[in-house]
Amino acid sequence: MSELFDRVDALVASRSPLPPPAERKRLRTAHGLTLDEVAEALEVRRATVSGWESSTKATEPRGKEREAYARLLKQLAELYPAEANAGTPVQETAVPATFASTPAPAPEAQPLSTGPGSEAAVMKTEQNAQPTPAPEPAPGAASRPARTARPTSTSRRPAARKAAPANTPAGVDSRFVNGPLAVVDVDEDGQVLAYCVGGLILDVPAKSLPSLVDWTLKEARLGQPKLSGPGKDADPLIVLTRSALERYGLPAALTEQERHAGRIPEGHKVVKQLARAEWQLTKRGFGPWARIYRPAQGSERNCVQLCIPSWQALDPRVWGNAAELAPADLARVLGVYASRVMTPRGSAAVTSLELMTAFHPPTRASEPDADGKRHSEHNPGSLGKDPVDCAPCEAPDGHPLLKDLPRFHVRGPGEMMFEESFDWARPLTDAECTKRHLVGIDVNMAFAAGANGLVVGLGAPTYVKAPVFDAKLPGAWLVDLSHVDLSRVKVAKDKWVELDGSLLPSPFTPNGDRPTGPAWYATPSVAYAVELGYDVKPIEAYVRYDNGRFLDSWYNRLRDAFLATMADLGVHADMAPTDFLEAMNGYKGRDPEMAIVVNAVKATVKGGIGKMRERPRGEGWKSGEPWRALSRPTWRPDIRAAVISRTRVNLHRKIIKHAAFTGQYPVAILTDCVVYAVDGASPLDFLPYRDGKPLPGGFKLGINPGLVKWEGTQEVLWGEGVREQFKAPELNLARYIKDGTVTNVDNGE
């Protein structure tokens, strides 16, 4: 009889009621469970659990798995009850507020508070430049977005309507109600599905790539509104998985020759299909980030961006393992990045430049003329639509401006500007050798903080002989700063301090050596010499009278994206130092997908600044000839130099303040990481906090750009042992302080 009862119980359990898919995922993420943890507990595959949360009929749990899954969800529901209105069915066109694109820019955005003495103090953005940020989930909600329930009808495709559906959330552009992008995949039944942000899944009827492009533009309702008044809406992004590539006749991976060329051959059958359908490709052809378009008709753009992860579109140094994620998870990662930064347009560096241009488009519509017509005109505050020549001292080797130089000529500081990040180290003193630990601290978003509020040139440079230095005028200055003595510097108005200059790097050279004569510097470097209390007399200069704070909106957008995503990982602005250090401990493991977004945001900052001085990339280039990047208005080595100069100066100013107050000096600096020899193992053991308040103008623990986090701690004996092992007394320990692993050492360099 007991066996009979057991069979009856099992029969009842096999029909255990389950909450909707969105609720299943909400409950799992509310308890901090990963897909892998649930899969291991239920003895199923990770993809199976992901399918249960996507609610395809073929992947509904059955039998013992359903009983156990229902039991798990029931217990979680008791711990995390839904809101009163959580049971309201979600229609197929609804989009979570987290991913809602903003319909129009706000007149003015107020800065986030970053605390006193921080370089991350945010200036107000220009009018009509900063969009209203999309609303974030309530503090009690799960960090992952709730999935939109799939429709109960047989077709999940949205109707091709121009009007917004009745349930379109307020503030969401009806043209892009399904979000900025979709990951197209083929399921086990052979059905083509488009995974959108928020868990929405659409059926894709397209049988070929040209028809997929047509469907994307006519029915999918994908895209993103423009970020500024004269800008353009973002084109929809379609991400093709391996199965989708196979369905549409594309290779799952590129051959070595194709990878080198960056595209598939023009004679490929899919490229011919596009040509027959009158679709065009950009000059870069059909590669990992292909753009398929037809010439715009009036204000209507007909363009779709493709991203192909298996063709290495998502650089693992930026996107980690994103290319290997399930379609829904990949849509989430790219969707969060798109909603907080912008729809990706290529690499993080390319997207960064596109973001700058999106806030400051080169042209705008003029006022109506006598006939009532508007014309395209220059947009003030932008870099314009045509590139400008840099100054000769700003040009990298091989630039056309330098084609008349003798062969093998090596330019020195008096001919070429060397504004680069710190790479400096020194031997430990006897007193420092008695300390127990080497502690590294790292500046958050250092280059972003350096760009904040920075006035940069917008137009071409003007040559000036024997100019009077003006700290408000961006440019390149030939000046002798060898007289600046760090043994005695000004730290405040009429307040001088005595320091041990031999233990400090010079702020005017990347390697920290004191200048020996005239050299070219960007404005922030020369202004810092004046700030330290020394007179400067430039010999000549290239200045830019047309200037502005071109990077402010770009900085604000990336700062907000960084802070919002770190908050999803449990790290918030304005946390107490001890709470901050605790929150940073293992933060990436709380939500690995959001950790990918954080890394991508940081790479967007660095990549954009670096790409402003992009060098030739093959293509048969010869020294003295122009290369492709020079045709971009955003090829601006002067702006890159100014950002790096200001970033280096910001860090040196903190080091000076710290040394003047504590008598502690750094032993190594690499870009934005500083290492000190101290007795304790934590930054709190040597950073001067009083009643929870940091030294004004010094280092402050926190997540805001310009504040610092703990980078790593090693023993002093480790550092001395490494230097002795590699016979490199000035090996830069900041490079290896994070985990102590030493690689790529060549004679101490």
Q: Is the pLDDT of residue 96 over 70?
A: no
Rounded mean pLDDT of 295-307?
84
Rounded mean pLDDT of 42-51?
78
Q: Is the pLDDT of residue 107 over 50?
A: no
Q: What is the pLDDT of residues 663-672, one digit of tens each?
A: 999 999 999 9
Give the pLDDT score at 90: 37
Lowest-confidence region among 119-128, 173-182, 452-461: 119-128
Give the pLDDT score at 55: 53
Rounded mean pLDDT of 133-154?
38
- Stronger pLDDT, 297 or 483, i.e. the higher one: 483
The three-state secondary structure class of 741 is coil
Which string of DSSP letters, residue by residue, matches 110-167? PPPP--TT-TTPPPPPPTTTSBPPPPPPPTTS-SSPPPPPPPSSS--PPP--SSPPTT
Q: What is the pLDDT of residues 648-665, one digit of tens each?
A: 999 999 999 999 999 999
**pLDDT interval class at 373 (50, 70, 90):** confident
The three-state secondary structure class of 748 is coil
Give the pLDDT score at 94: 33
Entry pTM: 0.79
- Stronger pLDDT, 412 or 1, i.e. the higher one: 412
Ranges of each domain in the chain:
2-79, 97-344
Q: What is the pLDDT of residues 71-94, one digit of tens each?
A: 888 888 888 887 644 443 333 333
Rounded mean pLDDT of 472-500?
95
Q: What is the pLDDT of residues 234-260, one digit of tens each?
A: 999 999 999 999 999 999 999 999 999
Q: What is the pLDDT of residues 528-548, one digit of tens each?
A: 999 999 999 999 999 999 999
Q: Which amino acid is at 279?
A: W
Distance, CA of 1 to CA of 12 (rounded, Å): 17
Give the pLDDT score at 5: 55
**Dihedral sign of CA atoms 441, 445, 447, 451 in order:** negative
% of the chain at pLDDT higher than 90: 68
CB atoms within 10 A of CB 470: 15
Q: Is the pLDDT of residue 101 over 50?
A: no
% of the chain at pLDDT higher than 70: 84
Distance, CA of 516 to CA of 414 (rounded, Å): 10
**pLDDT interval class at 223 (50, 70, 90):** very high
Rounded mean pLDDT of 214-218?
96
- Stronger pLDDT, 5 or 598, i.e. the higher one: 598
Q: Is the pLDDT of residue 266 over 70?
A: yes
**pLDDT interval class at 125 (50, 70, 90):** very low
Structure tokens at 49: 């659990």
Rounded mean pLDDT of 436-453?
97
Q: Which residues of 487-519 are buried (b: 16+ CB within 10 A; e: fewer)?
A: eebebeeeeeeebebeebbbbbbbebeebeebb
Rounded mean pLDDT of 507-513?
97
**pLDDT interval class at 2 (50, 70, 90):** low
**pLDDT interval class at 443 (50, 70, 90):** very high
- Where do we find the tokens 């900025």? 180
- Stronger pLDDT, 744 or 550, i.e. the higher one: 550
Mean pLDDT of the chain: 86
Q: Under a CB-based contact definition with an 8 Å cutoff, are residues 669 and 675 in contact?
A: yes
- Stronger pLDDT, 128 or 36, i.e. the higher one: 36
Give the pLDDT score at 368: 85
Give the pLDDT score at 225: 94
Distance, CA of 198 to CA of 193 (rounded, Å): 15
The three-state secondary structure class of 241 is coil
Q: Is the pLDDT of residue 148 over 70?
A: no
**Dihedral sign of CA atoms 260, 261, 264, 268 in order:** negative
For the domain covering 2-79, report its CATH number: 1.10.260
Give the pLDDT score at 626: 95
Of 731, 185, 241, 749, the residue nearest 740 (C-alpha) = 731
**pLDDT interval class at 155 (50, 70, 90):** very low
Of 443, 224, 186, the residue nearest 344 (C-alpha) = 224
Which string of DSSP letters, residue by residue, matches 168-218? PPTT--GGGTT-SEEEEEE-TTS-EEEEEGGG-EEE---SSHHHHHHHHHH
Give the pLDDT score at 15: 62
Give the pLDDT score at 484: 97
CB atoms within 10 A of CB 373: 9
Of 339, 333, 332, the residue nearest 133 (C-alpha) = 339
Q: What is the pLDDT of residues 554-597, one digit of tens each?
A: 999 999 999 999 999 999 998 999 999 999 999 999 999 999 99
Rounded mean pLDDT of 741-749?
63
Q: What is the pLDDT of residues 516-526, one digit of tens each?
A: 999 999 999 99
Distance, CA of 349 to CA of 354 (rounded, Å): 9
The three-state secondary structure class of 666 is coil
Give the pLDDT score at 3: 60
Q: Could you tell me the CA-to-CA distances from 186 to 52, 181, 191, 639 in Å, in that order? A: 17, 17, 5, 45
Give the pLDDT score at 48: 77
- For the chain, the maximum distance between any two Cα atoms, rounded to a whole number of angstroms, is 105
